[in-house]
Chain A
């Protein structure tokens, strides 16, 4: 299995809702990533997990809460979002080979989020 899956594909939520995005990979990767991508822009890194521990938080607002229950799963919990948070949310995974910076990331298809 060489793919990263994400659910749901589309999500519409109000500013008072609580929802979660899910990501799964079965490639044995020990690093997992969340990115946010606005239209016509490159992906922006949000969080990185290494060996199921949060290793990078790019100063993301607390209304986004990541969770890595095990090495195959990554969640992003959403609460009290703003309309400007509407974007494509991409999950990625990679090996951790020890050559820092070298590991290519494999991306999922994303969740297109709309906040009303």
Chain B
């Protein structure tokens, strides 16, 4: 069975600090997909990134970067120069490749990030 562990529950930083959100996953599949979602206080989950299991290239998008390491089953997310607007709950999620037609996500418990001015 698949599992996603986000060991950090709450992180508080001061604006402009860098912060890394950890994600460790478990799966028996060789083909799988990893996601990060952001949930601000408004409630809507916002898709941030998808990474395929066969693509270990790290990715940078503005102040956001992701470090995917299959050797340690981790998919960590770093926010550089954090801003107050980054305050949200961040979920890491895993989807396995299977014969069904749908993307069925297993979510971690989420990390609440508070960025103070």
Closest Cβ neighbor of B48 among chain A residues: A104
Interface of B is mostly: loop
Q: Contact flags (1/0) for A30-50 with B, using CB distance below 8 Å?
A: 010100000011110100101
Is B116 an interface position by the 8 A CB rule?
A: no
Interface size class on chain B is 20 to 34
Interface size class on chain A is 20 to 34
Q: Contact flags (1/0) for B44-69 with A, using CB distance below 8 Å?
A: 11110010100000000000000000
Which A residues are CB-close (under 8 A) to B25?
A: none
Q: Which residues of B contact A (CB under 8 A)?
A: 31-33, 35, 37, 42-47, 50, 52, 91, 95-105, 107-110
Extra contacts, 5 of them, besides A31-B101, A94-B103, A103-B103 (Cβ < 8 A), are: A42-B110, A43-B45, A55-B101, A100-B98, A103-B102
